[in-house]
């Protein structure tokens, strides 16, 4: 999920037709075998971000044996692949790796014995890592790789006890999307391949280990843990975490894992999780993954959330005490249908995950918190899209990207895949009506359940099950304009927010005559209204104006990251150095890229700001995730290379 530095607020605040019978709710049957996916792809399909050759051989099941070594910041162990050889002439298994040390590779013979296999680990590509080619002349049904991760693995973060809330136990967590799973497991790291997995993990006795699998709320913390994921998933949904973690339930099938000091506040903030599950089931069919738990990570987590099946990873920055940012939970939950259940087949089709999910998220928010709140989040996202689309290449504004558009799959436009994708879904909903569109979308999830598909499959299904049964409403040309052309079509539905109109009036009055909006008005404002208030400000304000706002509302030092990420860049651009200490503290304490990158980007525009950015980054760097570190490094390096004005 490493995306452009502006990540849409709406996507992280948190998204009659015939249909097949839904698989059983537990997913233990009815999910297609991995080999059935071959029918969902064509020979012309190719994942340019993977070395794997899934048309020749596919992983059906992955069995992990891992040891968590905090002292050396390493995972060590084995990965065993149960394989389906699709090409009768194929005798090689090609895996993706990044900075892995390969110790040994063995294959299972027909007599059940294991024999050494020859392999070659190629030189590393900056983005793709190293191609691991395993020679398997006997086309072994199982192959096992013994390996160790690098202490600097891009998909793992190791935190010392001092970097955690409890301060006594180290912490480790993974982030596999888009192509970071290969940094901690040698794997066919492409969404074209889905597999089941099991894992046995050993760790120090004082840490609890969790994975994107069947975590037992009553599991003993004894240093040995076993996991099973019976539904086939793509590699980017592999996840692991280890630390001082305890569990508190929200409902019979949902709960929170967190450090002891954080769990109570998290349970209170996310108390509506079970209601969200029920709302989504009513709209789009059964939740098919068993449990839905939330893991609250340290603030260094680089994203708002990650939809790892059965265990969404969640930033603590959305715990603000008033449930104003719980759309994030709606978004990660919605991925249980859009993304985890039906997955894009290459990163060029990422909108199939994020756009549809953002639409479903907004429907959940509307059902639970009302249309006014859902409309506000839509407007915020679309305002940010307008800004981003002024700056990015039109080639990145297409929902379905052409091969070769991105050097790195982490570089897609969030405004496109999240907000434009959701806007497209709303366009279809408004044209066909909710009843028809909801039935279509539920049928889509059922039809492609546990499969990975390209945009072309979505188009084929939409034409057959939405356009053709309802002629004259949306043309094929309109459908394809949304998907294949840059920008937003003229037929896009617009959203008006009366509550934002009131905010606009209050802001205009303050800018006109300095009248600070009355407490009687602002006391009822939500995070969304404060965000809109700040986003509508001029590029810079006078020191007197900033002082007046700070005196009235205490923006400097705010614990709400959504406000901080808008207030601090404004303060920097305006020369409001009174906020510098709070800015430095914020950048050191928080590692969520969306929240901190706007401030870094503002700081590096002046020599004085660049110095503060470098000094702060030097202090913050040990606590940043590698993904965040790379983003900050790039912004600082670009500023230092820019010619002097």
Active-site residue set: 332, 418
To which residue do tokens 């301060």 refer? Answer: 167
* Token pair listed for 115: 């024999």
Which of these, 291, 277, 263, 318, lies nearest to 13 by C-alpha position?
318
Question: For residue 287, which of 316, 269, 310 has the smallest C-alpha distance?
Answer: 310
- Whether 211 contacts 239, CB under 8 Å: yes
Q: In the structure encoding, which two tokens stand for residue 566, read together?
A: 């808008």
- Three-class SS state of 311: strand
- How far apart CA 113 and CA 388 sit, in angstroms, is 57
- The DSSP H or E segment spanning 240 is strand 240-243
Strands 142-148 and 74-85, bridge-based pairing: antiparallel
Give, as one character, the DSSP assignment of residue 419: I
Bridging pattern class, strands 254-258 and 240-243:
unpaired
Paired tokens of 426: 């709303």
Assess contact for 184 and 148: CB atoms under 8 A: no
Contact at 8 Å (CB) between 507 and 536?
yes
Question: What angle (nearest 5°) sits at the alpha carbon of residue 299, between those of residues 294 and 301?
Answer: 70
Q: Measured between alpha carbons, how far apart are the two ends of the chain, in Å? A: 34
Query: How many angstroms separate the CA atoms of 349 and 357, rounded?
Result: 13
| DSSP letter, residue 343 | E
Parallel, antiparallel or unpaired: strands 171-174 and 240-243: antiparallel
Is there a contact between 156 and 173 (Cβ–Cβ < 8 Å)? yes
Q: Which residues of 473-490 are buried (b: 16+ CB within 10 A; e: fewer)?
A: ebeeebbeebbeeeebee
- CB of 163 closer than 8 Å to CB of 175: no
d(CA 563, CA 551): 15
Nearest by Cα to 215 from 174, 244, 256: 256
Spacing of C-alpha 92 from chain mean position: 32
Cα gap 228→31, rounded to integer Å:
16
CA distance linking residue 198 with residue 239, whole number of Å? 12
CA distance 495 to 8: 16
């Amino acid at each position: 999920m490493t995306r452009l530095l502006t990540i849409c607020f709406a996507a992280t605040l948190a998204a009659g037709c015939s249909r097949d019978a839904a698989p059983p709710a537990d997913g233990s049957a009815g999910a297609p075998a991995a080999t059935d996916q071959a029918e969902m792809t064509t020979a012309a399909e190719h994942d340019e971000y993977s070395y794997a050759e899934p048309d020749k051989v596919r992983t059906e099941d992955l069995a992990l044996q891992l040891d968590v070594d905090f002292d050396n910041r390493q995972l060590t162990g084995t990965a065993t692949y149960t394989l389906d050889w699709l090409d009768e002439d194929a005798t090689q298994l090609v895996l993706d790796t990044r900075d892995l040390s390969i110790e040994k590779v063995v294959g299972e013979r027909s007599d059940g014995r294991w024999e050494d296999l020859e392999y070659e680990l190629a030189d590393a590509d900056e983005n793709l890592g190293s191609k691991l080619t395993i020679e398997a002349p006997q086309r072994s049904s199982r192959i096992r790789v013994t390996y160790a991760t690098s202490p600097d693995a891009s998909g793992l973060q190791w935190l010392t006890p001092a970097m955690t809330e409890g301060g006594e136990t180290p912490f480790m967590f993974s982030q596999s999307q888009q192509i970071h799973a290969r940094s901690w497991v040698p794997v066919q790291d492409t969404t074209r391949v889905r597999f089941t997995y099991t894992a046995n993990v050993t760790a120090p006795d004082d840490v609890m280990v969790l994975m994107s699998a069947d975590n037992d709320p009553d599991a003993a913390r004894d240093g040995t843990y076993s996991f099973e994921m019976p539904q086939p998933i793509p590699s980017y949904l592999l996840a692991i975490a280890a630390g001082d973690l305890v569990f508190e339930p929200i409902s019979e099938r949902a709960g929170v894992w967190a450090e002891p000091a954080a769990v109570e506040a998290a349970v209170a903030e996310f108390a509506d999780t079970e209601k969200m599950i029920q709302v989504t089931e009513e709209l789009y069919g059964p939740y098919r993954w068993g449990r839905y738990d939330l893991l609250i990570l340290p603030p260094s987590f680089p994203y708002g959330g990650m939809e790892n099946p059965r265990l969404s990873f969640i930033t603590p920055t959305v715990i603000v005490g008033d449930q104003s940012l719980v759309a994030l939970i709606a978004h990660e939950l919605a991925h249980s249908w859009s993304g985890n259940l039906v997955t894009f087949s290459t990163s060029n089709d990422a909108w199939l995950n994020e756009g549809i999910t953002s639409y479903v998220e907004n429907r959940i928010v509307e059902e639970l918190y009302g249309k006014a709140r859902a409309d506000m989040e839509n407007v915020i996202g679309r305002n940010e899209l307008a800004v981003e689309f002024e700056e990015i290449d039109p080639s990145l504004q297409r929902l379905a990207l052409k091969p070769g558009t991105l050097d790195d799959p982490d570089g897609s436009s969030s405004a496109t895949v999240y907000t434009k994708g959701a806007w497209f879904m709303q366009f279809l909903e408004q044209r066909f009506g909710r009843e028809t569109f909801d039935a279509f979308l539920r049928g889509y999830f059922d039809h492609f359940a546990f499969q990975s598909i390209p945009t072309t499959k979505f188009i084929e299904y939409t034409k057959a099950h939405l356009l053709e049964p309802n002629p004259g409403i949306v043309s094929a040309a309109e459908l394809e304009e949304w998907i294949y052309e840059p920008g937003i079509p003229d037929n896009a539905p617009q959203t008006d927010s009366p509550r934002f109109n009131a905010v606009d009036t209050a802001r205009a009055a303050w800018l006109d005559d300095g009248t600070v909006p009355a407490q009687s008005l602002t006391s009822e404002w939500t995070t969304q209204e404060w965000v809109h208030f700040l986003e509508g400000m001029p590029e810079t304000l006078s020191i007197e104006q900033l002082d007046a706002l700070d005196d009235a509302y205490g923006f400097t030092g705010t614990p709400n990251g959504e406000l901080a990420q808008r207030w601090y860049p404004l303060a920097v651009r305006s020369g409001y150095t009174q906020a510098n200490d709070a800015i430095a503290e914020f950048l050191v304490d928080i590692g969520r890229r969306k929240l901190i990158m706007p401030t870094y980007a503002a700081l590096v525009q002046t020599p004085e700001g660049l110095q503060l950015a470098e000094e702060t980054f030097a202090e913050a760097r040990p606590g940043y995730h590698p993904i965040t570190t790379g983003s900050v490094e790039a912004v600082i390096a670009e500023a230092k290379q820019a010619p002097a004005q």
